[in-house]
């Protein structure tokens, strides 16, 4: 790993050199030829690919071959629910929504609450499950098709996932896992296993269809190590290797790193109220000069400017307008304050709309979430006596429920309660 930056599934630091990352991870760059093919098949190239926000892939040409031969693929992506969702998280999900719409593809969306629980000392299980619910609202708010989308918590879907993950785990040695993830003696034994659970949904479509189903995993590039393992074991399990498409990280408002949950001011969260969001944008690091005079004379530097990056990644889809903004900055024709105010307006508009959809999502959770059933459920259905039923209801409610997330696990018992 390069000394100036570090990219692992749990830690991104330094200024990431994405070309070097392609070499180090051994992925393929998305080149013009591939973009041309994409345009030929789908009719257009999305902005995120034009701008190389999605810049790297594995086996995309193979996937498109399959697609052209009539083998439809399934999308698989996910989220580690250790806190609220920020705009950087939305980036690959928005792209995944585009993929679902364009290719009419089912989506399996995994909430790795087991992994986050294992990896964060201070994170309790209830809180991880609570964030699963919280983050699920953001996914749903983006407009995925409930008929084609399945969102699940690893903990709540473990009857389905664990069995597949055993097939993965049997084929991965400790030395492989250590080489890929850098484990040491103090790593807990859950973290050593957990990549198996992250592989599992890549094989679930094939398990369910009882035949090989191609899978595409849109993801931020830091997740690639997991899927290197998935791809390694796939042929040994008799399945296709999943294809992957990787995006870069939305830069921090404070500079060039990935947004970080440990510095809440470095990112805009979907749960931020408009005032907070505006304040964060107005305090962002820019490519401006020390004084207005100097900026008018020398121009700004969009290349290091977090505000410009926000336009580039999410808030200026029009190529011509983005160019104009860049040129005006370089020529000293626009000051940072104005540029930030305009971005703040756009971010707030986006947030208001998203938060409205997020509220509506609360009534749609049942249409998206799948979770397995505890055997206790069986006893609830056929209680031998009322006292026993009451006991199990209480146990199930308290143990399997989550802070805000009652709907996920407990929805199942609602109908019983009502009886």
365 vs 359: CA distance, rounded Å: 11
> b/e per residue, 204-235, with b = 16+ CB within 10 A?
bbbbeeeeebbbbbbbbbbbbbbbbbbbbbbe
Binding site for a copy of itself (CB under 8 A): 114, 117-118, 125, 152, 155-160, 162-163, 165-167, 169-175, 177-178, 183-193, 195-196, 207-210, 370-378, 394-395, 398-399
Whole-number minimum distance, CB 375 to a copy of itself, in Å?
Answer: 4
Residue 353 structure tokens: 């709309």
Q: Give the nearer residue to a copy of itself in terms of CB position, either 69 or 174.
A: 174
At closest approach, how far in Å is the CB of 188 from a copy of itself? 5
Shortest Å, Cβ 11 to a copy of itself: 18
Coil, strand or helix: which one is 104?
A: coil
Looking at the Cβ atoms of 110 and 374, the one nearer to a copy of itself is: 374
Which CB, 158 or 256, lies closer to a copy of itself? 158
Least distance (Å) from a copy of itself to the CB of residue 217?
20
Number of other CB atoms surrounding residue 111 within 10 Å: 28
CA 363, CA 146: separation in Å to the nearest integer?
A: 12
- Give whichever of 49 and 111 is closer to a copy of itself, judged by the CB atom: 111
Distance of closest approach, residue 168 Cβ to a copy of itself, in angstroms:
8
**Phi, psi torsion values for 14, nearest 5 degrees:** 85, 175
**Which CB, 231 or 278, lies closer to a copy of itself?**
231
Nearer of residues 3 and 384 to a copy of itself, judged by Cβ: 384
**CA 215, 50, 22, 25: dihedral to nearest 10 degrees?**
-20
Question: Tokens standing for 40?
Answer: 């030929």
Closer of 176 and 324 to a copy of itself (Cβ): 176
CA distances from 196 to 164, 199, 239, 242 (A): 8, 5, 15, 14
Q: How far is the CB of 160 from a copy of itself (least distance, A)?
A: 5
User: How is the beta sheet containing 243-247 ordered, strand by strand?
Assistant: 28-29, 54-58, 243-247, 215-220, 74-79, 107-111, 149-153
Residue 112 or 309: the one with the smaller Cβ distance to a copy of itself is: 112
**Of 245, 219, 249, which is closest to residue 56 (Cα–Cα)?**
245
Please state the closest distance from residue 139 (CB atom) to a copy of itself, in A.
18
CB 161 within 8 A of CB 205: no
In the complex, least distance from residue 76 CB atom to a copy of itself, rounded to whole angstroms: 16
């Amino acid at each position: 790993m390069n000394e100036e930056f570090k990219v692992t599934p749990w830690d991104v630091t330094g200024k990431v050199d994405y070309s070097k990352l392609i070499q180090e991870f051994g992925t393929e760059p998305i080149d013009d030829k591939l973009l041309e093919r994409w345009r030929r098949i789908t009719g257009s190239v999305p902005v995120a690919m034009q701008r190389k926000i999605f810049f790297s892939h594995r086996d995309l040409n193979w996937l498109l071959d399959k697609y052209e031969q009539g083998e439809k693929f399934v999308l698989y992506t996910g989220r580690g629910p250790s806190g609220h969702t920020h705009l950087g998280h939305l980036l690959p999900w928005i792209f995944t929504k585009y993929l679902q719409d364009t290719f009419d593809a089912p989506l399996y969306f995994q909430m790795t609450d087991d992994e986050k629980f294992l990896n964060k000392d201070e994170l309790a299980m209830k809180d991880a499950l609570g964030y699963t619910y919280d983050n699920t609202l953001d996914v749903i708010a983006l407009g995925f098709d409930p008929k084609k989308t399945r969102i699940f918590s690893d903990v709540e879907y473990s009857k389905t996932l664990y069995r597949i993950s055993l097939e993965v785990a049997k084929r991965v040695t400790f030395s492989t896992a250590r080489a890929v993830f850098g484990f040491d003696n103090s790593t807990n034994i859950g973290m050593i296993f957990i990549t198996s659970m992250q592989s599992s949904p890549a094989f679930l479509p094939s398990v369910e269809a009882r035949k090989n189903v191609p899978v595409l995993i849109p993801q931020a590039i830091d997740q690639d190590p997991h899927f290197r393992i998935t791809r390694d074991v796939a042929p040994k399990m008799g399945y296709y290797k999943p294809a992957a498409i990787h995006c870069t990280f939305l830069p921090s408002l404070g500079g060039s790193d990935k947004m970080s949950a440990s510095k809440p001011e470095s990112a805009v969260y979907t749960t931020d109220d408009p005032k907070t969001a505006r304040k964060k944008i107005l305090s962002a690091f820019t490519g401006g000069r020390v004084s207005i005079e100097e900026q008018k004379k020398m121009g700004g530097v969009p290349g290091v400017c977090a505000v410009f990056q926000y336009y580039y990644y999410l808030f200026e889809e029009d190529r011509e307008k983005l160019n104009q903004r860049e040129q005006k900055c370089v020529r000293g024709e626009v000051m940072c304050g104005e540029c930030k105010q305009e971005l703040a307006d756009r971010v707030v508009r986006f947030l208001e709309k998203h938060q409205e959809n997020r509220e509506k999502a609360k009534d749609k959770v049942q249409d998206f979430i799948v979770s397995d059933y505890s055997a206790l459920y069986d006893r609830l259905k056929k209680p031998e006596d009322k006292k026993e039923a009451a006991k199990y209801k209480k146990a199930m409610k308290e143990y399997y429920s989550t802070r805000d997330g009652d709907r996920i696990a407990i929805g199942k018992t609602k109908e019983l309660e009502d009886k």
